[in-house]
């Protein structure tokens, strides 16, 4: 269960027979956290809003497919987020056979956003975990592929902004998770080596495997407990209440006092 392997010096612990210890646990200086469905129960809020607007609860998978398709265009630099929201919503309504003009699409999207924002909720394990991480002295970063405007508003509305030393937005960095540059940009901003950082997120490939490939400790937050093979170098937890124990067991020292 090694997060990272770091070199040791002759002054460090030696094994019997005079051989140097081939590995010593790294020091944890930074924890990066995804936002949606890691800290905020975003999917539940989105489901409630969509059900309220269209009067049925079975269209969420379609909404997710259409959204994923349009977000991919944002990541590729083909669309900005505002245009994506409008086009995504228009495409979704067209899939339902609802033919509306641009003004109607804009109205639907405004109402949807308002409903979602009013129903944002934190998972119960979020604040205790963030309090623990702060007490441990580690720096914290929020790392998201979603729109900066919406994510910053979300962090502020839910009282989370005060916890974070840095917020990394894909559209502002110019790349998105799982690109290693996204993770490395956070480490550079907070003067931290990737081997001294861990990233936690709900998406196995985008968050955990991406972080692992970038040289960070990789933690997959599998909240729904679905059975899935966990790749080598990735740790799986079912709630943020499990994170402190994992970090303490994997790092030689959790938290190095940092200038704030």
Report the distance separating Cα 92 and Cα 117, nearest Å: 20
In the numeric block, the tokens 């998201």 are attached to 144
Give 27-40+121-254's CATH code, choosing from 3.40.1030.10, 3.40.50.1000, 3.30.1130.10, 3.30.530.20.
3.40.50.1000
Instruction: Tell me the two tokens of residue 190.
Output: 């907070």
Report the distance separating Cα 192 and Cα 143, nearest Å: 15
The per-residue pLDDT string of the chain (260 residues; one tens digit each, 9 = 90 and over) reads 455 443 333 333 333 444 445 556 778 999 999 999 999 999 999 999 999 999 999 999 999 999 989 988 887 778 888 899 999 999 999 999 998 999 999 999 999 999 999 999 999 999 999 999 999 999 999 999 987 788 999 999 999 999 999 999 988 888 889 999 999 999 999 999 999 999 999 999 999 999 999 999 999 999 988 777 899 999 999 999 999 999 998 876 775 544 44
> Maximum Cα–Cα distance for the chain, whole Å?
78
Q: What is the pTM of this model?
A: 0.84
Domain ranges of the chain: 27-40+121-254, 42-118
Q: List % helix, strand, coil for the chain (3-state, nearest 5).
A: 45, 15, 40
């Amino acid at each position: 269960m090694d997060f990272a392997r770091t070199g040791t010096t002759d002054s460090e612990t030696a094994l019997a027979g005079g051989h140097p210890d081939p590995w010593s646990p790294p020091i944890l200086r930074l924890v990066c956290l995804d936002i949606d469905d890691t800290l905020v129960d975003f999917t539940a809020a989105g489901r409630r809003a969509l059900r309220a607007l269209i009067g049925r609860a079975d269209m969420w998978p379609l909404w997710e497919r259409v959204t994923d398709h349009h977000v991919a265009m944002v990541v590729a630099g083909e669309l900005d987020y505002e245009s994506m929201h409008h086009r995504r919503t228009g495409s979704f309504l067209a899939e339902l056979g609802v033919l509306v003009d641009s003004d109607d699409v804009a109205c639907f999207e405004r109402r949807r956003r308002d409903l979602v924002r009013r129903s944002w909720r934190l998972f119960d394990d979020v604040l205790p975990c963030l309090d623990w991480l702060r007490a441990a002295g580690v720096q914290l970063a929020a790392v998201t592929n979603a729109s900066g405007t919406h994510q910053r508003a979300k962090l502020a509305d839910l009282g989370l902004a005060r916890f974070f030393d840095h917020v990394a937005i894909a559209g502002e960095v110019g790349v998105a998770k799982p690109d290693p540059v996204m993770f490395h940009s956070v480490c550079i901003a907070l003067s931290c080596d990737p081997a001294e950082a861990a990233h936690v997120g709900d998406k196995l490939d985008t968050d955990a495997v991406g972080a692992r490939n970038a040289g960070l400790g990789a933690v997959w937050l599998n909240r729904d407990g679905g059975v899935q093979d966990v790749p080598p170098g990735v740790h799986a937890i079912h709630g943020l209440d499990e994170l402190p124990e994992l970090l303490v067991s994997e790092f030689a020292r959790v938290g190095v006092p940092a200038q704030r």
